[in-house]
Structure formats: C-alpha cells, structure tokens
Structure 1
Amino acid sequence: MKIVICEDNPQQQKVIFTKLKNYSMINHPSVEIVLVASNAEEVLKFMNNNKIDCYFLDIDLGIGSNGLELAAKIRKQDVLASIIFVTNYSEALRLTFKYKVAALDYIVKQVDPGFSDSLIGAFESSIQRYNQLGQTKTMNLFQIKMGELIKNIPYENIYYFETSENIHKVRLYEQNGVYEFYEKLKNIEQINPIFFRCHKSYIINIQHVVQINKKSRTIEMANGTECPVSIRALRIIQNKMTENLCRI
C-alpha cells in the first residue's frame, strides 16, 4: 500500500511521517510512504504518474492551497483511495460532507489528547479497507500476497501470468513490475473474461494483445513479450478478443 502525506507545518509533517513510518516498519513493512508534501500542487503532480492508496491530508494548507479541494480532485480521479484528514478544525467532518469526498476518517490535532492513537487507528482502518478491496471481485483488483506484502493490482494493468520454475508459484507481469507468488493458473483463468489461458503455462490479458502470429504460434503483448499459444487456443482467441471489444 502506498501513502502520501500532505501537511504544510514542518513540525507536524515530521510527527505524522515519523509515527506512521515507525509503526508500519514493525506492523506493516510492505507499506510505503511515497511522498511527503507541503502543498496540493506537489500531490497533484505526483498523482499524474503514480497510483496512491491512502492520503493523509491537512485541511488548511496555507495561502492558495485547500486540503478539501485537493481531496475533491483526488476523489474525482480515484474513487477507491482512502482519504484521512489530519486537521486543527473540529468541524472537519461537516466540511467533508460539503465537498463530497467520502473521507475514511479525520483526526483533530490540537483537541485530541490521544492524537497518536487516533492516527494509528485511522492508518489501521486504511490497511483493512485496502485488504478488503482486493478481496472484492466487483472491484476488478487482483490481490497478491508475498509474505508481509499485500498488493492490489487493477486487472487493466496486468499483461499476463505464467507458471514459475519454482513449484506451485505463478509470475505476474504488470505495468509497474513483476511479482511471483503462490497460486495456480487454474484459479486465475476464470476470474474475469479478459483473462485467457492461451497455453498450459500462460494466461494473457486480451486487452493488451498487440498481434497474433499464427505461423510461430505466439502472441505479442503490449509490453513487448511474446507468449506462446496452443493450436486449440489459436482457434478461439480471436473470438475472445471480439467478445471483449463488444463489452467495452
């Protein structure tokens, strides 16, 4: 899970970062704090090229910068991300309704004597929500578990799966990396119509097929890889691709 912190007060920024980092190192080592920003512009720029799972935002970000407006822009781009407000304003809950940002939680800095506990509690809620999203089929997220790492990958980002040389493991290739985990291909091929078992050792995402070479019996994927295709699969893959286009 990837986290962004946006807080314009340097001291408060350090407190939030330190508490979350220290806690996650012990309890959730796969969590990454990928950006600590002082204004909305930094966050919006970072969002353009990165998928974020949870935001800790101050509501008052100084002159010309509003955490609620930032949250509204985040929500417009990503309906699934968790948004947690860390604020001086006790009326934050009412304001979040006004901006329709569906915040996961809000923590009042100066009023709340148990600030650290509230911060960690909200963090744990975001972890729980992240895990649940990956287990909900309607979200079109594929969840992988590798030791302490839990990662939700959108179906649309996945190129293909292949069996690993390591027994009982599968390798997943997606836009942001390659992951190997314990699973069987037969448990994957039925999760969504966009995934097609083109070979005994491969399942491809037909949305990322570039071309099919019938002579060499290979399928070129959008990441440049050529996946083998069986004779039987070759006969039906074009129909599969046509069916998928009709659904879009």
Structure 2
Amino acid sequence: MIKEYIKTHPGVDMKIILSTANPKEVTLYMESHPHDTKFFLLDIEFPESKMRGIDLATSIRQQDLNAKIVFITTHEELTPMIFERKVEPLDYISKEIGLEAIKSKLFQDLEVTINRLVPSNQKNKTTFNFRIGPKPYEFEINQINYFESYENTHNVFLHSTNEIIEFPDTLKTIETKLPNFYRAHKSLLVNPDNIKSIDSNNQKLVFIDNTTCDISRRKLAILKKHYHIAN
C-alpha cells in the first residue's frame, strides 16, 4: 500500500527505508539516522521479540519528537498503554476493518504527515536543530558564526555570538542542512551572513561579534567573489 502511495505521488520525496519484524533493526536505524524525517507503521506486538511495539514507539518518541507513528494491530486491549506512555501516535488502525479501509486510513495518515512537514521545513530555514544525548535543541541560525570540527573526534563545535556548544555530528551532515553556509576549510563551516569583514593580511574572517577564524587564501578569494564581503 505504501509503495502504491509513493508511485502515485511522484512529487513527494519519500521511500521505504526499512521493513522488518525485528525491532532492534529499527533502533539501530534510529541511532545511525538521527536527522531523517520518519514515518513509522508499527504493530503493538512482535511475535519473535521480547520488545513490544509500544516499547519501540516509546523509544522512538524519546529520540525523535517529530517522528510520525501509526499503529496497525488487533491488540485493542493495549491501546490505553499508548496514552500512558505519552507516545502521541498519529493514528491507530485496526486490522479487522478490512484492506480497503486500512488503505484509506493509511493514505490519509501519509497525507497528514506530508502536510505537517511543510511548516516544519519552513521553520528549519531560520533555526538549526540538533541533539545532545536524548535532548533536542533548537538554535537561531542568525546567531551562528561558524561550526568547527577537530580530527579524531565525532563532535562539532557551534560558535555563536554568545556561546560555544559541543554536540555529536559532522560538518558534512550540517552542510546538507545549511546549504547557504560556506566551507571555509575542511574543519570550518561559516555563516556568510554573520561575517562583518575580512582581514586579508592575516587571512581571517571577522564576525559581527568581533570574533575571528582563519581561512585559507584560496577559500578567501572564493568567498569574497561569491558573497561580496568587504575588506
């Protein structure tokens, strides 16, 4: 049914990433793809696993506040647990209503999911979202001067106008989320909008809060050409 929806909605960037009866595979996927936009269709029970769908949904919600979760099951007696765990599912579909009714509800849920992602994407244009452990953070992009990484570490340092924050990520991943930022060095990703001036003699960028960072001569020339930043 989901394949049919994807086929009939070619304008939607959507694909099936994982289809499994093993909830541990979902947990591994969540850990390795923290920034993906996700829609989960879960049963409440997994026949060959001690972990139940409600347990998996609880874990998903702890890691991703925006993930959309739909339950499809015959175990209606477990429905109260969904509310007790504060999972906040998008829908609950009973398998007993028949295939056509399931398809109709599932298509509606996919439509709602896509529609609700639009304001989220617009919001991400002004904010940068990241996590430190299970806790999500949101940071105004106009307060970010640059991101910096170091060798032999899996963390990135966010340099803002008033603080420095360390969190697990890579510059490559951040670069895909913030295409307007400029890769000033293999270890630096800068916000051109926050550059006040360029110190060409010392090969430094000067930001609006008067902090600085180094930049190579070649990257400096490209930056000046494309962003028209004054010396």
**TM-score (ref. length: structure 1):** 0.54
Q: Does 1:39 align with 2:22?
A: yes
Give the C-alpha shift of residue 227 in structure 1: 9.4
CA–CA distance in structure 2, aligned partners of residues 40 and 46 of structure 1:
10
CA–CA distance in structure 1, aligned partners of residues 97 and 109 of structure 2:
16
Return the match for 2:56 from 49, 54, 70.
70
**TM-score (ref. length: structure 2):** 0.57
Q: Does 1:90 align with 2:76?
A: yes
Give the C-alpha shift of residue 36 in structure 1: 0.9
Return the match for 1:220 from 169, 185, 205.
185
Per-residue CA deviations over 1:140-174 (Å, capped at 9, x if unaligned) read x239xxxxxxxxxx7257xxxxxxxxxxxxxxxxx
In structure 2, relative to structure 1, the CA distance for the partners of 1:107 and 1:193 (3 Å cut) is same
What is the aligned partner in structure 2 of residue 155 from structure 1?
128
- Cα-Cα RMSD: 3.6
CA–CA distance in structure 1, aligned partners of residues 58 and 190 of structure 2:
41
Give the C-alpha shift of residue 226 in structure 1: 9.0
* Percent of paired sites with the same residue: 29
In structure 2, relative to structure 1, the CA distance for the partners of 1:101 and 1:225 (3 Å cut) is closer
CA–CA distance in structure 2, aligned partners of residues 194 and 31 of structure 1:
30
Give the C-alpha shift of residue 131 in structure 1: 1.7
Return the match for 1:192 from 120, 135, 142.
142
Aligned partner of residue 110 in structure 1, secondary structure: helix
Return the match for 2:85 from 99, 104, 127.
99
CA–CA distance in structure 1, aligned partners of residues 125 and 190 of structure 2:
23
Give the C-alpha shift of residue 31 in structure 1: 0.5
Aligned partner of residue 234 in structure 1, secondary structure: strand
In structure 2, relative to structure 1, the CA distance for the partners of 1:64 and 1:225 (3 Å cut) is same
CA–CA distance in structure 2, aligned partners of residues 97 and 156 of structure 1:
27
In structure 2, relative to structure 1, the CA distance for the partners of 1:92 and 1:116 (3 Å cut) is farther
